[in-house]
């Protein structure tokens, strides 16, 4: 069984000395992968991208916490 996840990547902290940003990932929504779910997640992704959020759709074999 496959699952589809809508995840957001955001900057969590920065290091001034190395000038690196550390990023974290948060699962916004997940469910069993179907064509309908993929289409709905894609619509949500487009809306969130327009709001300036860094979001991706990822397919996995297990549910994330």
Tens digits of residue pLDDT in 1-37 = 899 999 999 887 888 888 888 888 999 999 999 999 9
In-domain check, residue 31: yes
In-domain check, residue 25: yes
User: Are 25 and 8 within 8 A, CB to CB?
Assistant: yes
In-domain check, residue 53: yes
- What pLDDT, on the 0 to 100 scale, is given for residue 43? 96
In-domain check, residue 11: yes
pTM: 0.75
Tokens of 53: 């959020």
Categorize the per-residue pLDDT at 65 as very low, low, confident or very high, splitting at 50, 70 and 90. low
Domain extent for 11: 3-60
In-domain check, residue 65: no
pLDDT digits over 36-56, tens only? 999 999 999 999 999 999 999
Number of structural domains in the chain: 1
């Amino acid at each position: 069984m496959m699952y589809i996840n809508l995840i957001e990547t955001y900057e969590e902290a920065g290091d001034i000395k190395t000038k690196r940003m550390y990023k974290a990932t948060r699962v916004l929504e997940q469910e069993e992968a179907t064509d309908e779910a993929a289409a709905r997640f894609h619509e949500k992704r487009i809306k969130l991208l327009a709001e300036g959020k860094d979001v991706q759709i990822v397919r996995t074999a297990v549910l994330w916490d």
